[in-house]
């Protein structure tokens, strides 16, 4: 795959993922009492709701800033791994209900791979 093709695909994925995570985190922030309650029902500390919501928004923004793409993707991968584990173990509907989290996880891994450091081409 040429460098320009890889770059175009990466930017498209980054844009789509940024929209998804900013929207998801923003929704959590707009309904913080509900989000905190949901986390507590799952046996998680309520404060983690703030961390996840802010992490999703900041990670989404980070996906749009070239210098922060890889760290943002890594942080969001951690959040999505947690979401997949929660869907598998505690959320009714199981892994099938966690399909969006799995898709986002795979797409984040693709961005990480597409933006891997490599030899510089002049």
pLDDT at 44: 95
- 46-97 pLDDT, tens digit per residue, is 999 999 999 999 999 999 999 999 999 999 999 999 999 999 998 887 778 8
pLDDT at 94: 77
pLDDT at 37: 96
pLDDT at 119: 64
This prediction has a pTM of: 0.91
Domain ranges for the chain? 3-114
HEC per residue, 14-26: HHHHHHHHHHHHH
């Amino acid at each position: 795959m040429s460098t320009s093709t890889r770059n175009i695909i990466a930017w498209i994925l980054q844009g789509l993922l940024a929209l998804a995570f900013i929207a998801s985190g923003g929704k959590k922030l707009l309904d913080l009492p509900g989000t905190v309650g949901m986390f507590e029902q799952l046996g998680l500390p309520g404060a983690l709701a703030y961390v996840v919501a802010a992490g999703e928004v900041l990670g989404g923004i980070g996906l749009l800033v070239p210098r922060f793409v890889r760290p943002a993707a890594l942080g969001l991968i951690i959040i999505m791994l947690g979401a997949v584990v929660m869907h598998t173990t505690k959320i009714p509907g199981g892994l099938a209900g966690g399909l969006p989290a799995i898709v986002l996880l795979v797409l984040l891994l693709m961005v990480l791979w597409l933006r891997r450091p490599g030899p510089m081409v002049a």
